[in-house]
C-alpha cells in the first residue's frame, strides 16, 4: 500500500513541477517529501546548532544516483545555514555568521591554501533581489594583480591567496551566457577554483533572506533568480565550482500553487483533484514574475556585506578578526 502511495506521490510531484513549483534549496526539496523523518536512500541529512548563536547548520549529502533521482539535484554536499537574523543590522550576529560561512567554504573546497580562486557575482545588478552576487563582488578584497606585481614574498607576508573576481552580468545585458564568459576567463587566467555567488528562489517566503546554501555541485540549470540555462560546474568549466546562494525570491507561480493546494486540501479534495485544479489556473504572465519583500534593498546590502566579509577572511589571513 505504501508503494501505491509512493507512485501517487511521484505523479503529484511531477504535476507540482510542471505547474511551477520551484526551489533552489536542496533542504526544501528534502522537506517536500511526506515521510519527513524516514530516510531516503542515497541521501544523508545531519543537523547541528551553532552554540548560543541562533544559527542552524544542516548538511545534506546526495551520495548516489538514487539520491540524485529522488532529490532532482546532482550528487554532492549541500550545506544550509539557517540564520533567522541574517537580514538584521547587528554586528554581533554577523561576525560569528561570517565565520561559519568561511568555515564551510573552506571545508567544501578541501582547504584553500595556495589555491587561486575566481569569485563570480552572478545576477543582474539592476534588479534588487538579483543584485546579491554583484554586491558581494563589490566588497571583495581582490589580490591576484597585487601578487603578480609584488611576487610571492608579498603574498606570504600578507598571508593571502590569489583572488580575482567578476560580475559578468545577465544574458539580456551581454548577449552571452555567463558560462561562456566564465569559460573564457578561466582558460585565460587559470584559477584553481570558482566560487559563484547567486540569488536563489525558495519555495517558502519565510526562508527569504534568512538562509545561505553552500554546495560543491556548482550552479545547475534552473537555479537563480534569472534562470541561467547552462550549468556552471566542474563538468562545464573544468575546475571545482562552489556555489554560495541566498534565496531572495519565490516564483510567483510557486506561491500561488502552494496556497491553492493548502486551501483545497483543507476542503477535502484529493491530491489528484488538486493537481488538476492547479494545472487549470496556469497563467503564462505569471511565469516571468517573482515575489520578494518590500525591504529587499536593506536585506541585500546587509547579506552581501556578511558574505563578502566571510570570503575576505577565507583568502586573506591578515583580515581575520
Q: Which of 254, 292, 302, 313 binds a second copy (CB under 8 A)?
A: 292
Q: Kindly list the strands in the beta sheet with 117-121, ordered across the sheet, starting from the edge strand earlier in the chain.
A: 43-50, 55-62, 76-82, 211-215, 240-251, 193-202, 117-121, 163-166
Residues in 229-288 that interact with a second copy by CB under 8 A: 250, 252, 255-256, 259-260, 262-264, 266-267, 277-278, 280-281, 283, 285-286, 288
Q: Which of 32, 59, 164, 236 binds a second copy (CB under 8 A)?
A: 164
Asked if 194 touches a second copy (CB under 8 A), the answer is: no
Cell of 274: 488538486
203 closest CA partner among 8, 11, 5, 17 = 17
Asked if 56 touches a second copy (CB under 8 A), the answer is: no
Asked if 159 touches a second copy (CB under 8 A), the answer is: no
Dist CA 169 CA 151 (whole Å): 31
Asked if 31 touches a second copy (CB under 8 A), the answer is: no
State in angstroms the smallest separation of the CB of 51 from a second copy: 22
234 closest CA partner among 247, 217, 214 = 217
Asked if 169 touches a second copy (CB under 8 A), the answer is: yes
State in angstroms the smallest separation of the CB of 315 from a second copy: 11
Dist CA 179 CA 249 (whole Å): 23
Q: Could you say which DSSP state residue 39 is in?
A: P
Q: Which helix (H) or strand (E) holds 55?
A: strand 55-62
Asked if 25 touches a second copy (CB under 8 A), the answer is: no
State in angstroms the smallest separation of the CB of 79 from a second copy: 24
Beta bridge partner(s), residue 198: 245
Asked if 217 touches a second copy (CB under 8 A), the answer is: no
State in angstroms the smallest separation of the CB of 43 from a second copy: 28
Asked if 114 touches a second copy (CB under 8 A), the answer is: no
Dist CA 301 CA 295 (whole Å): 10
Number of residues near a second copy (by CB under 8 A): 73
Of residues 77 and 306, the one with the C-beta less far from a second copy: 306
Residues in 73-102 that interact with a second copy by CB under 8 A: 89, 91
State in angstroms the smallest separation of the CB of 186 from a second copy: 7
Dist CA 85 CA 1 (whole Å): 43
Amino acid at each position: 500500500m505504501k508503494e501505491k502511495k509512493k507512485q501517487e506521490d511521484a505523479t503529484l510531484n511531477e504535476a507540482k513541477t510542471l505547474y511551477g513549483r520551484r526551489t533552489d534549496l536542496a533542504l526544501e526539496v528534502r522537506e517536500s517529501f511526506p515521510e519527513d523523518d524516514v530516510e531516503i536512500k542515497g541521501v544523508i541529512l545531519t543537523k547541528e546548532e551553532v552554540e548560543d548563536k541562533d544559527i542552524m547548520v544542516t548538511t545534506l549529502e546526495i551520495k548516489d544516483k538514487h539520491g540524485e533521482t529522488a532529490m532532482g539535484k546532482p550528487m554532492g554536499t549541500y550545506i544550509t545555514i539557517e540564520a533567522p537574523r541574517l537580514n538584521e543590522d547587528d554586528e554581533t550576529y554577523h561576525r560569528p555568521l561570517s565565520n561559519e560561512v568561511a568555515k564551510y567554504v573552506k571545508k567544501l573546497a578541501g582547504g584553500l591554501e595556495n589555491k587561486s580562486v575566481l569569485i563570480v557575482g552572478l545576477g543582474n545588478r539592476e534588479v534588487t533581489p538579483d543584485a546579491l552576487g554583484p554586491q558581494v563582488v563589490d566588497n571583495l578584497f581582490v589580490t591576484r594583480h597585487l601578487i603578480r606585481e609584488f611576487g610571492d614574498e608579498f603574498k606570504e607576508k600578507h598571508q593571502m591567496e590569489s583572488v580575482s573576481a567578476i560580475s559578468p552580468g545577465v544574458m539580456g545585458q551581454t548577449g552571452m551566457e555567463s558560462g561562456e564568459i566564465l569559460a573564457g576567463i578561466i582558460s585565460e587566467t587559470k584559477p584553481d577554483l570558482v566560487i559563484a555567488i547567486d540569488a536563489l528562489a525558495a519555495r517558502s517566503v519565510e526562508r527569504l533572506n534568512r538562509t545561505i546554501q553552500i554546495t560543491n555541485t556548482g550552479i545547475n540549470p534552473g537555479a537563480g533568480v534569472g534562470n541561467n540555462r547552462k550549468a556552471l560546474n566542474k563538468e562545464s568549466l573544468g575546475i571545482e565550482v562552489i556555489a554560495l546562494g541566498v534565496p531572495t525570491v519565490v516564483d510567483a507561480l510557486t506561491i500561488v500553487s502552494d496556497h491553492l493546494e493548502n486551501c483545497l486540501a483543507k476542503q477535502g479534495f484529493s491530491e489528484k483533484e488538486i493537481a488538476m485544479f492547479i494545472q487549470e489556473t496556469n497563467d503564462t504572465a505569471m511565469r516571468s514574475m517573482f515575489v520578494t519583500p518590500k525591504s529587499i534593498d536593506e536585506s541585500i546590502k546587509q547579506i552581501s556585506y556578511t558574505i563578502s566579509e566571510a570570503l575576505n577572511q577565507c583568502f586573506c589571513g591578515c583580515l581575520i578578526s
